[in-house]
Amino acid sequence: MELINFSFNAVTSEEEVRKIVGTPHEHITKKSVSQIDEHCKRFIEMSPLFFLSTANAEGKCDVSPRGDFPCGIQILNNKQLVIPDRPGNKRIDSILNIISNPHVGLLFLIPGLEEVLRINGRATIIKNPEILDSMSLNERPPLLGIGVDVEECFIHCPRAFKKSKVWDIDSWPTKESFPSSLEIFHSALLHNGVVLK
Protein backbone atom coordinates (compact mmCIF):
# COMPACT_ATOMS: atom_id res chain seq x y z
CA MET A 1 0.00 0.00 0.00
CA GLU A 2 1.26 3.46 -0.90
CA LEU A 3 2.23 5.68 2.03
CA ILE A 4 -0.13 8.56 2.79
CA ASN A 5 1.22 12.09 3.12
CA PHE A 6 -0.32 13.11 6.46
CA SER A 7 0.93 16.69 6.07
CA PHE A 8 -1.55 17.29 3.23
CA ASN A 9 -4.55 19.22 4.60
CA ALA A 10 -3.27 18.69 8.16
CA VAL A 11 -4.41 20.60 11.25
CA THR A 12 -1.39 22.61 12.43
CA SER A 13 -2.52 25.06 15.10
CA GLU A 14 -4.41 25.08 18.39
CA GLU A 15 -6.75 27.71 16.98
CA GLU A 16 -7.78 25.39 14.16
CA VAL A 17 -8.21 22.47 16.54
CA ARG A 18 -10.45 24.58 18.80
CA LYS A 19 -12.62 25.57 15.85
CA ILE A 20 -13.21 21.89 15.14
CA VAL A 21 -13.32 20.42 18.66
CA GLY A 22 -14.48 23.34 20.82
CA THR A 23 -13.42 24.22 24.38
CA PRO A 24 -13.78 22.10 27.52
CA HIS A 25 -16.14 22.91 30.39
CA GLU A 26 -14.65 24.70 33.40
CA HIS A 27 -15.14 21.53 35.49
CA ILE A 28 -12.83 19.68 33.11
CA THR A 29 -10.09 22.31 32.99
CA LYS A 30 -10.05 22.68 36.77
CA LYS A 31 -10.21 19.01 37.78
CA SER A 32 -6.43 18.56 37.98
CA VAL A 33 -4.44 19.12 41.16
CA SER A 34 -0.72 19.77 41.52
CA GLN A 35 -0.16 17.28 44.30
CA ILE A 36 -0.92 13.71 45.36
CA ASP A 37 -4.07 14.21 47.41
CA GLU A 38 -5.70 11.47 49.51
CA HIS A 39 -7.77 10.17 46.58
CA CYS A 40 -4.79 9.99 44.20
CA LYS A 41 -2.74 8.28 46.93
CA ARG A 42 -5.42 5.63 47.45
CA PHE A 43 -5.70 5.07 43.69
CA ILE A 44 -1.93 4.54 43.36
CA GLU A 45 -1.89 2.19 46.35
CA MET A 46 -4.58 0.01 44.76
CA SER A 47 -3.10 -0.03 41.26
CA PRO A 48 -1.06 -3.12 40.24
CA LEU A 49 -0.48 -1.81 36.70
CA PHE A 50 0.45 1.54 35.19
CA PHE A 51 1.92 2.87 31.96
CA LEU A 52 4.98 5.11 31.90
CA SER A 53 5.25 7.52 28.98
CA THR A 54 8.62 9.06 28.14
CA ALA A 55 10.37 10.79 25.25
CA ASN A 56 14.03 11.43 24.52
CA ALA A 57 15.63 14.81 23.80
CA GLU A 58 14.72 14.41 20.12
CA GLY A 59 11.06 13.89 20.97
CA LYS A 60 10.94 10.17 20.11
CA CYS A 61 8.31 8.65 22.42
CA ASP A 62 7.88 5.40 24.28
CA VAL A 63 5.20 3.94 26.55
CA SER A 64 6.15 1.14 28.92
CA PRO A 65 3.74 -1.05 30.95
CA ARG A 66 4.82 -1.47 34.56
CA GLY A 67 3.33 -4.16 36.77
CA ASP A 68 4.05 -4.52 40.47
CA PHE A 69 2.25 -5.49 43.61
CA PRO A 70 -0.20 -2.83 44.82
CA CYS A 71 1.71 -0.30 46.92
CA GLY A 72 4.87 -1.17 44.96
CA ILE A 73 5.33 2.52 44.26
CA GLN A 74 6.60 4.52 47.21
CA ILE A 75 4.82 7.83 47.83
CA LEU A 76 7.36 9.96 49.69
CA ASN A 77 5.13 13.00 50.23
CA ASN A 78 2.32 14.86 48.46
CA LYS A 79 4.65 16.00 45.65
CA GLN A 80 6.98 13.04 45.08
CA LEU A 81 6.82 9.34 44.35
CA VAL A 82 9.37 6.69 43.42
CA ILE A 83 8.89 3.90 40.88
CA PRO A 84 11.07 0.81 41.38
CA ASP A 85 12.89 -0.25 38.21
CA ARG A 86 12.76 -4.03 38.59
CA PRO A 87 15.21 -6.22 36.61
CA GLY A 88 13.99 -6.74 33.03
CA ASN A 89 15.26 -7.22 29.51
CA LYS A 90 17.91 -4.46 29.90
CA ARG A 91 16.63 -2.33 27.00
CA ILE A 92 16.06 0.45 29.59
CA ASP A 93 14.22 2.60 27.02
CA SER A 94 12.41 4.62 29.71
CA ILE A 95 15.58 5.15 31.76
CA LEU A 96 17.57 6.42 28.78
CA ASN A 97 14.72 8.70 27.71
CA ILE A 98 14.45 10.22 31.18
CA ILE A 99 18.20 10.91 31.31
CA SER A 100 17.86 13.07 28.19
CA ASN A 101 14.34 14.43 28.86
CA PRO A 102 12.83 14.39 32.37
CA HIS A 103 9.17 14.90 31.38
CA VAL A 104 6.99 11.82 32.08
CA GLY A 105 3.35 10.82 32.04
CA LEU A 106 1.85 8.04 34.18
CA LEU A 107 -1.47 6.25 33.65
CA PHE A 108 -2.65 4.09 36.58
CA LEU A 109 -5.23 1.29 36.25
CA ILE A 110 -7.23 -0.66 38.83
CA PRO A 111 -8.75 -3.94 37.53
CA GLY A 112 -12.49 -3.59 36.99
CA LEU A 113 -12.48 0.18 37.44
CA GLU A 114 -13.19 2.20 34.30
CA GLU A 115 -11.67 5.46 35.51
CA VAL A 116 -7.88 5.90 35.36
CA LEU A 117 -5.49 8.21 37.19
CA ARG A 118 -3.19 10.40 35.11
CA ILE A 119 -0.06 11.97 36.60
CA ASN A 120 2.40 14.24 34.79
CA GLY A 121 5.71 15.43 36.15
CA ARG A 122 9.48 15.44 35.94
CA ALA A 123 11.57 12.34 36.61
CA THR A 124 15.07 11.64 37.89
CA ILE A 125 16.88 8.29 37.86
CA ILE A 126 17.94 7.59 41.45
CA LYS A 127 20.24 5.06 43.12
CA ASN A 128 19.60 6.09 46.75
CA PRO A 129 20.15 2.81 48.70
CA GLU A 130 17.91 3.84 51.59
CA ILE A 131 14.92 4.36 49.27
CA LEU A 132 15.65 1.36 47.02
CA ASP A 133 16.15 -1.04 49.94
CA SER A 134 12.72 -0.09 51.27
CA MET A 135 11.20 -1.17 47.94
CA SER A 136 12.64 -4.69 47.93
CA LEU A 137 10.66 -7.52 46.36
CA ASN A 138 11.53 -11.07 47.51
CA GLU A 139 14.45 -9.50 49.40
CA ARG A 140 15.83 -7.97 46.17
CA PRO A 141 15.91 -4.19 45.98
CA PRO A 142 15.46 -2.59 42.55
CA LEU A 143 18.73 -1.67 40.82
CA LEU A 144 17.47 1.85 40.13
CA GLY A 145 14.45 3.99 40.93
CA ILE A 146 12.54 6.62 39.00
CA GLY A 147 11.86 9.58 41.26
CA VAL A 148 8.96 11.71 40.04
CA ASP A 149 8.28 15.30 41.04
CA VAL A 150 4.52 15.50 40.50
CA GLU A 151 3.15 18.50 38.59
CA GLU A 152 -0.38 17.39 37.71
CA CYS A 153 -2.83 14.67 38.84
CA PHE A 154 -6.37 13.99 37.68
CA ILE A 155 -8.93 11.24 37.23
CA HIS A 156 -9.75 10.51 33.60
CA CYS A 157 -13.34 9.76 32.59
CA PRO A 158 -14.40 6.12 31.95
CA ARG A 159 -15.48 6.58 28.31
CA ALA A 160 -12.56 4.66 26.73
CA PHE A 161 -13.00 1.66 29.01
CA LYS A 162 -16.78 1.65 28.60
CA LYS A 163 -16.56 1.72 24.80
CA SER A 164 -13.74 -0.82 24.58
CA LYS A 165 -15.42 -3.18 27.12
CA VAL A 166 -11.91 -4.10 28.23
CA TRP A 167 -13.13 -5.51 31.57
CA ASP A 168 -16.05 -7.42 29.96
CA ILE A 169 -14.85 -11.03 29.76
CA ASP A 170 -17.52 -11.92 27.19
CA SER A 171 -16.01 -9.41 24.75
CA TRP A 172 -12.49 -10.83 24.99
CA PRO A 173 -11.10 -12.65 21.91
CA THR A 174 -9.88 -16.21 22.29
CA LYS A 175 -6.13 -16.74 22.53
CA GLU A 176 -6.29 -18.88 19.42
CA SER A 177 -7.49 -15.89 17.35
CA PHE A 178 -4.14 -14.08 17.43
CA PRO A 179 -0.45 -15.09 17.25
CA SER A 180 1.47 -15.84 20.42
CA SER A 181 4.04 -13.38 21.74
CA LEU A 182 6.73 -15.92 20.83
CA GLU A 183 5.56 -16.01 17.21
CA ILE A 184 5.58 -12.20 17.05
CA PHE A 185 9.04 -12.10 18.65
CA HIS A 186 10.45 -14.65 16.17
CA SER A 187 8.88 -12.79 13.24
CA ALA A 188 10.56 -9.53 14.35
CA LEU A 189 13.94 -11.26 14.66
CA LEU A 190 13.63 -12.72 11.15
CA HIS A 191 12.55 -9.33 9.79
CA ASN A 192 15.74 -7.84 11.26
CA GLY A 193 17.98 -10.55 9.81
CA VAL A 194 18.45 -12.67 12.92
CA VAL A 195 18.65 -16.35 11.96
CA LEU A 196 17.07 -18.62 14.55
CA LYS A 197 18.92 -21.83 15.33
User: What's the pLDDT at 138?
Assistant: 87
User: What's the pLDDT at 102?
Assistant: 98
Domain for residue 42, yes or no?
Answer: yes
Report the chain (197 residues): mean pLDDT per 10 consecutive residues: 92 94 86 93 94 97 89 92 90 96 97 96 96 90 96 93 92 84 81 79
Query: What residue numbers bound the domain in which 56 lies?
Result: 30-163
Which residues fall within 8 angstroms of residue 77, CB to CB, at 6 or more apart? 36
Domain for residue 175, yes or no?
Answer: no
User: What's the pLDDT at 180?
Assistant: 82
Domain for residue 23, yes or no?
Answer: no
Domain for residue 3, yes or no?
Answer: no
DSSP string of 107-175, one letter each residue? EEE-TT---EEEEEEEEEEE--HHHHHTT-BTTB--SEEEEEEEEEEEEEPSHHHHHHTTT-GGGPPPG
Tally of structural domains, the chain: 1
User: What's the pLDDT at 31?
Assistant: 84
Supply the CATH number for residue 116's domain: 2.30.110.10
User: What's the pLDDT at 177?
Assistant: 80
CB atoms near residue 84 (< 10 Å) = 21
Domain for residue 99, yes or no?
Answer: yes
Domain for residue 180, yes or no?
Answer: no
CA nearest 79: which of 116, 118, 119? 119
Domain for residue 12, yes or no?
Answer: no
